[in-house]
A and B are shown apart, each in its own frame.
Chain A
Amino acid sequence: MTDTQTTSIPSPAPASDREPLLKVTGLTRHFPIRSGLMRRQTGAVRAVDGIDFTVNAGETLGVVGESGCGKSTMGRLVTRLDEPTAGKIEFEGTDITHLGVGAMRPMRRDIQMIFQDPYSSLNPRHTVGTIVSAPFKLQGVQPEGGVKKAVQELLELCGLSPEHYNRYPHEFSGGQRQRIGIARALALKPKMIVADEPVSALDVSIQAQVVNLLDDLQQELGLTYLIIAHDLSVVRHVSDRVAVMYLGKVVEIADRDSLYRSPMHPYTNALMSAVPVPDPRRRQRAGRERILLTGDVPSPINPPSGCRFRTRCWKAQDICSSQEPPLVALKTGHQVACHFPENAPSGNAPAETAS
């Protein structure tokens, strides 16, 4: 339990040895909306609305997408913190979609979550020591050298000081609290970590440490990550593949380089163009290069017919409102759901070259 701080890094398993660790099919979560005296259901927030993807052992799938498009909900579903309305979740070939609390317990060790909100995810009445050691207690694990030592090592590993053991969350800054959450998630050395915005509360130098740390842990322990983040530069750095979500759907999923070099979905193109460039001299130009999304921001309560992006898409045609574009592979390792994709290899256009 205590060797997470070792820094020697064996080379990662070759890609061919990888197999899907997590497989998700038709995953759906609708939150009922109730109103009136009888609290009758009058509608539903279609937070996650039929998504399919796989994550291979040892790889990192990055997930990006607009705020409210269902990323956190998806993360909570695959870690089984929330019940799906429909669909199937398989972990190492086992269907875990509806496993009860008891049957899920051994799985919990294997799949850990790092939460988006470093404030509400830590119990304010517990010391850091109690928080980080909670997984040991829950799982009845007795780490070598004792709980306190293990926790202090985890704290150090995450850039905190062992002397923080007896302090309370409110005494820490946002970034420090996020590191406490990461230390807790690492305690049981899980196989897979679902990280919801793991570094967005961190300043860039700590962010770099945590990204490198996640990297090292992945190589050393063969960890698999599902990383939800909105920072496209961080996602590019950490991911092997990237999924782009929009309003409860996956609209594009591709190998990292393919996605960043030739994004196909118009929404992905808009995202890429809006990334703020850390160069004040470029701000005028950045303003002009940005693809400006106009039109109604749709609601997951009654999403647009056909393509959900059509209310804001500059390429939308009639077919976009009548037919939902399926997610299809337009080239190896690159799937997109759009009737008129950008950068698409087509019969008369030369296929994208590797560089």
Chain B
Amino acid sequence: MTDLQKTPADAASAPAPAGDPFLSVRDLRIHFDTDDGLVRSVDGVSFDLHKGRTLGIVGESGSGKSVTSLGIMGLHRSKRARISGEIRLNGEDLISAGPDRVRQLRGRELAMIFQDPLTAMHPYYTVGQQIVEAYRVHHPQATKKQARTRAVEMLDRVGIPQPDRRVDDYPHQFSGGMRQRAMIAMALVNDPSLLIADEPTTALDVTVQAQILDLIRDLQEEFGSAVIIITHDLGVVAELADDILVMYGGKCIERGPAETLFDAPEHPYTWGLLGSMPRLDRELQDRLVPVKGTPPSLINVPTGCAFHPRCPYAALTGGRSDSEVPVLAEAAPGHHAACHLPAAERHRIFAEEIAPRL
């Protein structure tokens, strides 16, 4: 029996949290050595996340969202990966901690729903065996039978029909969305304190998506977990996130509370993002309006503001856009943006040119 009836708790109006953040990321850099040169996938990202809160990360494909989250999970093993900066979980630095320590934390303290279901699921083991294994690593006292019962229960909670039968299926016997749900079941089996969900609902239809979002909210309510949700579905972040971080070219270019980010976005890239999405709550447009141009190369990152080759306003900054990297600065309370346009100018452009089209 699937419980779809819980009404979502409204976390948006919760007051900004006090005390130490559960997760604190400072100046995180993750670069890869490749034959073509050094790929600066993540290049100086910082943020804090408190228990019980949800951070949404949005941004262009290839902007470093997944690399950031894999970094937090300690999953960049390759010798070609160069990682610097700080990732503190509950005060403990994960970058300097050994791989054994991170493995210990993974699954219980830290869990991730991967964008790619196939990295998380092994083709030669049944879905059930894999969830059981994930559970028993952190519950060594549990019997096989208890673990299996728990696996079936989790499959039921993510809405797999006849979970007691399908628990013995192999991943290839599941549909794309079912595989994604099985992976979600695996990530949630140990009630993690920090859940990173990388595109958790991309393969799911909206009714199941709503159910998964409820499940994440439940986890949060019951265990006070912190959640990072990475998605390009702005509807999903609007539903779930308290704060939103926008990435472009390996950097955070805007960060703020969900409401102001949607109502009063500060950065020209964010304007482009909001303007390019088709919306059911609006009249049908003849043609979508994408951000023009192509994503930046992360090997030869454009000088100055990485967005400048595509930015319609780059000419308004007296030459600074292509020569000087803009830093994140507070534009409104708790709301930061990295853009050389003076705030007043940005607000005028937004009000006159952008808002009417959104």
Size category, B interface: 35 or more
Question: Is the C-beta of A204 less than 8 angstroms from some C-beta in chain B?
Answer: yes
Give every chain B residue within 8 A of A284 (Cβ-Cβ): 8, 10
Are A276 and B206 touching (Cβ within 8 A)?
Answer: yes
Give every chain A residue within 8 A of B276 (Cβ-Cβ): 204-205, 207-208
| Shortest CB distance B210–A (Å) | 5
- Chain A residue with Cβ nearest B175: A68
How far, in angstroms, from A287 to B117 measured CA to CA in the complex? 28
Give every chain A residue within 8 A of B202 (Cβ-Cβ): 197, 200-201
Give every chain A residue within 8 A of B213 (Cβ-Cβ): 276
Give every chain A residue within 8 A of B291 (Cβ-Cβ): 205, 208
Question: Is the C-beta of A119 less than 8 angstroms from some C-beta in chain B?
Answer: yes
Question: Is the C-beta of B290 less than 8 angstroms from some C-beta in chain A?
Answer: yes
Are A233 and B277 touching (Cβ within 8 A)?
Answer: yes
Question: Is the C-beta of A322 less than 8 angstroms from some C-beta in chain B?
Answer: no
Question: Is the C-beta of B58 less than 8 angstroms from some C-beta in chain A?
Answer: yes
| Shortest CB distance B128–A (Å) | 15
Give every chain B residue within 8 A of A176 (Cβ-Cβ): 61-62
How far, in angstroms, from A270 to B205 measured CA to CA in the complex? 11
Question: Is the C-beta of B272 less than 8 angstroms from some C-beta in chain A?
Answer: yes
Contact of B118 among A120, A159, A173, A276 (CB under 8 A): A120
Are A203 and B262 touching (Cβ within 8 A)?
Answer: no
A150-177 contact mask (Cβ, 8 Å, vs B): 1 or 0: 0000000001110100010001111110
- Chain A residue with Cβ nearest B259: A280
How far, in angstroms, from A117 to B177 measured CA to CA in the complex? 11
Are B4 and A281 touching (Cβ within 8 A)?
Answer: no
Give every chain B residue within 8 A of A279 (Cβ-Cβ): 238, 262, 281
Are A197 and B203 touching (Cβ within 8 A)?
Answer: yes
Check A281/B206 contact, CB under 8 A, given A161-B297, A276-B235, A298-B161: no
* B contact patch SS: loop
* Chain A stretch 186-218: residues in CB contact (< 8 A) with chain B: 197, 200-209, 211-212, 215
Contact of A119 among B3, B116, B177 (CB under 8 A): B116
Check A299/B162 contact, CB under 8 A, given A208-B276, A275-B206: yes
Are B207 and A202 touching (Cβ within 8 A)?
Answer: no
Check A230/B165 contact, CB under 8 A, given A120-B118, A280-B258, A280-B262: no
* Chain B stretch 186-223: residues in CB contact (< 8 A) with chain A: 199, 202-210, 213
B239-275 contact mask (Cβ, 8 Å, vs A): 1 or 0: 1010000000000000000110011000000001110
Are B280 and A232 touching (Cβ within 8 A)?
Answer: yes
Q: How many A-B Cβ pairs are below 8 Å? A: 221
Are B5 and A208 touching (Cβ within 8 A)?
Answer: no
Question: Is the C-beta of A231 less than 8 angstroms from some C-beta in chain B?
Answer: yes
Contact of B8 among A206, A209, A283, A298 (CB under 8 A): A283
Question: Is the C-beta of A95 less than 8 angstroms from some C-beta in chain B?
Answer: no
Question: Is the C-beta of B143 less than 8 angstroms from some C-beta in chain A?
Answer: no
How far, in angstroms, from A142 to B232 measured CA to CA in the complex? 38
Check A67/B203 contact, CB under 8 A, given A205-B60, A209-B290: yes
Are A283 and B12 touching (Cβ within 8 A)?
Answer: yes
How far, in angstroms, from A231 to B279 measured CA to CA in the complex? 10
How far, in angstroms, from A274 to B178 measured CA to CA in the complex? 19
| Shortest CB distance B248–A (Å) | 10
Are B2 and A296 touching (Cβ within 8 A)?
Answer: yes
| Shortest CB distance B135–A (Å) | 23
Contact of A174 among B115, B161, B177, B238 (CB under 8 A): B115
Give every chain B residue within 8 A of A120 (Cβ-Cβ): 118
Question: Is the C-beta of B289 less than 8 angstroms from some C-beta in chain A?
Answer: yes
Question: Is the C-beta of A19 less than 8 angstroms from some C-beta in chain B?
Answer: no
Check A237/B294 contact, CB under 8 A, given A66-B207, A284-B10, A299-B161: no
Question: Is the C-beta of A264 less than 8 angstroms from some C-beta in chain B?
Answer: no
Are B238 and A116 touching (Cβ within 8 A)?
Answer: no
A227-255 contact mask (Cβ, 8 Å, vs B): 1 or 0: 00011111011000000000000000000
Give every chain B residue within 8 A of A64 (Cβ-Cβ): 205
- Chain B residue with Cβ nearest A298: B161
Contact of B238 among A159, A171, A212, A276 (CB under 8 A): A276
Question: Is the C-beta of B36 less than 8 angstroms from some C-beta in chain A?
Answer: yes
How far, in angstroms, from A275 to B235 measured CA to CA in the complex? 8
| Shortest CB distance B200–A (Å) | 12
Are B205 and A287 touching (Cβ within 8 A)?
Answer: no
Are B60 and A206 touching (Cβ within 8 A)?
Answer: yes
Contact of A67 among B60, B205, B259 (CB under 8 A): B205
| Shortest CB distance A170–B (Å) | 10
Q: Please name 12 further chain A to chain B contacts, defined as beta carbons within 8 Å, in addition to the given A175-B61, A200-B203, sorted by A numbering.
A: A116-B176, A119-B116, A175-B232, A202-B61, A230-B205, A270-B207, A271-B207, A274-B207, A278-B238, A280-B241, A286-B239, A300-B161
A-B residue pairs in contact (CB < 8 Å), sample of 5: A163-B297, A208-B276, A230-B209, A274-B210, A278-B234
Give A residues with C-beta under 8 Å from B: 31, 45, 64-68, 72, 116-117, 119-120, 159-161, 163, 167, 171-176, 197, 200-209, 211-212, 215, 230-234, 236-237, 260, 270-272, 274-284, 286-288, 290, 292-294, 296-301
For the complex of A and B, the 7 pairs showing the least CB-CB separation, nearest first, are A67-B177, A175-B61, A276-B235, A208-B290, A208-B288, A203-B232, A208-B276
